[in-house]
Amino acid sequence: MFGVVPKSMWKKINPPDDNNMCTWAMRCLLIETGDRKILVDTGIGNKQSEKFRSHFEPHGDDSLIGSLAAKGFKPEDITDVLLTHLHFDHCGGAIRHNEAGEAVPTFPNATYWSNERHWNWAMNPNPREKASFLKENFQPLKDWGKLQFITAVDGEEWIEGISIHYVFGHTEAMMVLKIIAGEKTLIYCADLLPSSGHIPLPYVMCYDIRPLVTLQEKEILLKRSAEKNYYLYFEHDPKMECATVHKNERGRVVLKESFLMEEVF
């Protein structure tokens, strides 16, 4: 998760267990705007085999459906599901198995959104990413007619108040969201900045296909966020939901303050 950074340094951020594994979140986001209820990413889901799950040891009492229910929402209430990219830990929950063992949309009334460039990349994966693109997580969406492609160009609004930015370091054409909420701006970082521990520029995941591009994309995002006081939303941070950053006395962009979403949005 921290690439070339020595364990002696990163273990202070997220201490590993005896199997050298760390605890991470799969934190999705629900956006209510007008008559739309937009879910961003869906986590790993629960339809994969026990053998598959044993490699990653998902644990904890929270679930996507349970978290939605706690806020008073049912799967049928979701109108849109935006998948930032199609790695299994971001889109696995898009499809579930019903009692008959059939694959069905988890959110039956929703339109699912990707972009054509990333979709084609996922459908024809390179050997390095192949294990992360499990077609059973997304191919049925197209077969069912549930899938649409976002056509907004980089920086353009997809819908009012939500603009799309494409990044290419982690994977091809992953989508980062800029969300305007009143006078505040939230950046859904996806895997460009998976946690607060990845704010230092060299902390780049070994999963990234173009780590030097990730470093450049992070630098641009962090500089702009410090200047504009954007709130950064961390999908994988085990504790910190969102935070602001600023430049320190050495000119480096560092963590400024952390927040719970309910405190600011």
Question: Which of 149, 178, 202 is where one domain is finished?
Answer: 149
Judge whether 184 lies within some domain: yes
Inform me whether the pLDDT recorded for 49 exceeds 90.
Answer: no
- The one-letter amino acid code at 6 reads P
Judge whether 255 lies within some domain: yes
As a whole number of angstroms, the distance between CA 265 and CA 45 comes to: 26
**Helix, strand counts (H, E) of the chain:** 8, 14
DSSP class of residue 124? S
> At a CB cut-off of 8 Å and minimum separation 6, what does 147 contact?
111, 112, 113, 114, 119, 138, 141
Confidence (pLDDT) at 90: 98
pLDDT per residue as tens digits for the range 73-126: 999 999 999 999 999 999 999 999 998 989 999 999 999 999 999 999 999 999
Inform me whether the pLDDT recorded for 191 exceeds 90.
Answer: yes
Q: What is the mean pLDDT of the chain?
A: 96
> At a CB cut-off of 8 Å and minimum separation 6, what does 231 contact?
184, 185, 186, 187, 242, 243, 244, 259, 264, 265
Judge whether 5 lies within some domain: no
Confidence (pLDDT) at 25: 97
The first and second tokens of residue 61, run together, are 């009492």
Name which of 165, 25, 171 is nearest 82 in CA terms. Answer: 165
The pTM (predicted TM-score) of the whole model is 0.96
Question: Which of 125, 149, 173 is where one domain is finished?
Answer: 149
Confidence (pLDDT) at 101: 87
Confidence (pLDDT) at 48: 87
pLDDT per residue as tens digits for the range 129-185: 999 999 999 999 999 999 999 999 999 999 999 999 999 999 999 999 999 999 999
Confidence (pLDDT) at 233: 98
The first and second tokens of residue 247, run together, are 């430049």
Residues 159 and 258 occupy one common structural domain: yes
Residues 52 and 139 occupy one common structural domain: yes
pLDDT per residue as tens digits for the range 236-249: 999 999 999 999 99
- Domain assignment of residue 133, given as a range: 25-149
How many Cβ atoms from other residues are within 10 Å of residue 79's Cβ? 17
Question: Which of 113, 129, 149 is where one domain is finished?
Answer: 149
- Give percent of the chain above pLDDT 70: 100
